[in-house]
Structure 1
């Protein structure tokens, strides 16, 4: 029997914990109905000062992470907050024990934004990981040594597992069940929870939400110019030529604040505009391309697919409001 523990971190997302428990409890129940030993021993753990607050949750007694026995797998659920820097700080006391569990042989699996806590441990340095698609820039800035693959639904690098946002958690759960219980059980659970097993990308769920929570006036001017004129300008140089600073200085400060270069910002602004047109209008593809700031259909399709993970036509078929 494999020992698994869900970490109840501060600001844990209730739905994330419930989904993890539901799936693993269903696996155990399935084994019981066939008179086979349950494959998982499930427990909850939290940092010492949080155990008393939670007392007992989800029908499980909560143990202190400082006194927890050695696990085979530690699961870190998503967070409820978008302030990841503060959330990691509030949960910093858990990090030494996460590292200890890993060093003694446990696998560590994170769901959605739970990857930020694992990133802060340093265990992901040089490793492949993913997180919620809209948290990708923040994660990349916070943990530049991690090989972030934000387009991926699930990643595994040795005994470290991560998943993308929301329903991607179920794909990681299936991945873990297949690894520990075999593909037949993973397929059975996929059918019970109606999970599409073939989805391996999440990039088409992203929404470009540029950061405006800063005080750099030069960067704000550049953002305003790009967002107001993305469909007219041919190059980024045309957009920033009147800003009173060198191109090198603009690019440096812009990337420091937003996490991407002005050129990438322009591309993502155009792609987001195209997505909205594909979702909400019946415009011909040539109109969509032109209204998004592109003149070359081939270049548009290449950039769109690179950013979104599917062609413009596929995106319209999937997301257009009928």
Structure 2
């Protein structure tokens, strides 16, 4: 409580050895600056700390998280700390790694906090920690787009959606998940707006030059990934399609290449990859188009033909559905990056 009687919102951020230090300390910095940093810079308002942010570890023993970044927990599980907000930041976890069974004491503690009424936020791969608690079962959630296959295989009860950057798991908003690596920016702005006030969230965004990713994750996501599976025939068909996706009758030709009935191939392809045959082909074509938009000034109609679509209007609709942007918007967003 400060001199005016204001009580800061209590925030706990869970840190484990897999935690990404940039997300951990970035969130601490931004939330801790709310109510003080803008006010110090413009010298027009009294300073008032809006959030009290602490790091919680399994114990109070200091450790190094990923990339050797030191972490000194303020509180531990044994302290049974209370808070208004609990944050699970990004962790370093490969898309083929398994998180199941790790840190059962923390998982139970997180469930206990939810039962207490704490609002829980998770960013990027930190959502995997939240999924491990079971609190996301039956709920919609997002995480980094690279974890689609992980959620499909390891947490099938979570309604995983890679498109949005922020997702409310419940109508009351007591569980909120955020998407890609820097989505903690969006999450921090959301937390300040919701638990302090929208004006302060805007001021913090201006000071830190933070940008809300209203376009979601689709423009950034790779539509083609080599997710491992055991079906050798499907892998061979995937390789064939990567070489011949621009062919007008690519589906018919890959069926002939596979030498099995079309229905059988489609069933096996979906089972192995999680995508239908036509979805995989369309993804290859859109990725090809994205590369041309990023690296050339080739007109969109010509890109459409090179991707295998004579109908440019259909191609534009497909591209917008796959990336959330029109081809022209995508080019404006990403081509400048190659000119830096």
Task: Give the TM-score normalised by the residue count of structure 2.
Answer: 0.85
Q: Is the 8 A contact 2:63 2:71 kept in 1?
A: no
Residue 150 of structure 1, CA deviation: 1.5
Q: Is the 8 A contact 1:153 1:164 kept in 2?
A: yes
| Cα 1:137/1:70, change in 2 over 3 Å | same
Deviates more, 1:228-237 or 1:277-286: 228-237
Indicate the SS of the match to 1:242: helix
User: What is residue 268 of structure 2 aligned with on the other side?
Assistant: 253
Deviates more, 1:6-15 or 1:39-48: 39-48
Q: Is the 8 A contact 1:211 1:258 kept in 2?
A: no
User: What is residue 54 of structure 2 aligned with on the other side?
Assistant: 43
**Aligned partners of 1:241, 1:91: CA distance in 2, in Å?**
50
Residue 112 of structure 1, CA deviation: 0.8
Residue 185 of structure 1, CA deviation: 0.6
1:18 and 2:25 matched? yes
**Aligned partners of 1:250, 1:218: CA distance in 2, in Å?**
9
Deviates more, 1:202-211 or 1:72-81: 202-211
Residue 159 of structure 1, CA deviation: 0.5
User: What is residue 98 of structure 2 aligned with on the other side?
Assistant: 86
Residue 316 of structure 1, CA deviation: 1.2
Gaps of 5+ in 1: none
Residue 176 of structure 1, CA deviation: 0.8
**Aligned partners of 1:166, 1:244: CA distance in 2, in Å?**
42
1:224 and 2:239 matched? yes
| Cα 1:72/1:272, change in 2 over 3 Å | same
Task: Give the TM-score normalised by the residue count of structure 1.
Answer: 0.89
Deviates more, 1:122-131 or 1:291-300: 122-131
**Aligned partners of 2:296, 2:75: CA distance in 1, in Å?**
54
**Aligned partners of 1:198, 1:221: CA distance in 2, in Å?**
37
Residue 98 of structure 1, CA deviation: 1.1
User: What is residue 279 of structure 1 aligned with on the other side?
Assistant: 294
User: What is residue 4 of structure 2 aligned with on the other side?
Assistant: none
Indicate the SS of the match to 2:180: coil
Q: Is the 8 A contact 2:63 2:72 kept in 1?
A: no
Q: Is the 8 A contact 1:7 1:75 kept in 2?
A: yes
Q: Is the 8 A contact 1:55 1:62 kept in 2?
A: no
Residue 47 of structure 1, CA deviation: 2.5
**Aligned partners of 1:84, 1:68: CA distance in 2, in Å?**
33
Q: How does 1:52-201 map to 2 (within 5 A)?
A: 52=61, 54=63, 60-83=72-95, 85-157=97-169, 158-197=173-212, 199-201=214-216
Indicate the SS of the match to 1:178: helix
User: What is residue 3 of structure 1 aligned with on the other side?
Assistant: 10
**Aligned partners of 1:32, 1:190: CA distance in 2, in Å?**
13
Q: Is the 8 A contact 1:3 1:40 kept in 2?
A: yes
Indicate the SS of the match to 1:52: coil
**Aligned partners of 1:311, 1:75: CA distance in 2, in Å?**
35
**Aligned partners of 1:280, 1:149: CA distance in 2, in Å?**
29
**Aligned partners of 2:297, 2:64: CA distance in 1, in Å?**
55
1:206 to 221, 231, 234: 221
User: What is residue 301 of structure 1 aligned with on the other side?
Assistant: 316
| Cα 1:108/1:297, change in 2 over 3 Å | same
User: What is residue 257 of structure 2 aligned with on the other side?
Assistant: 242
| Cα 1:44/1:140, change in 2 over 3 Å | same
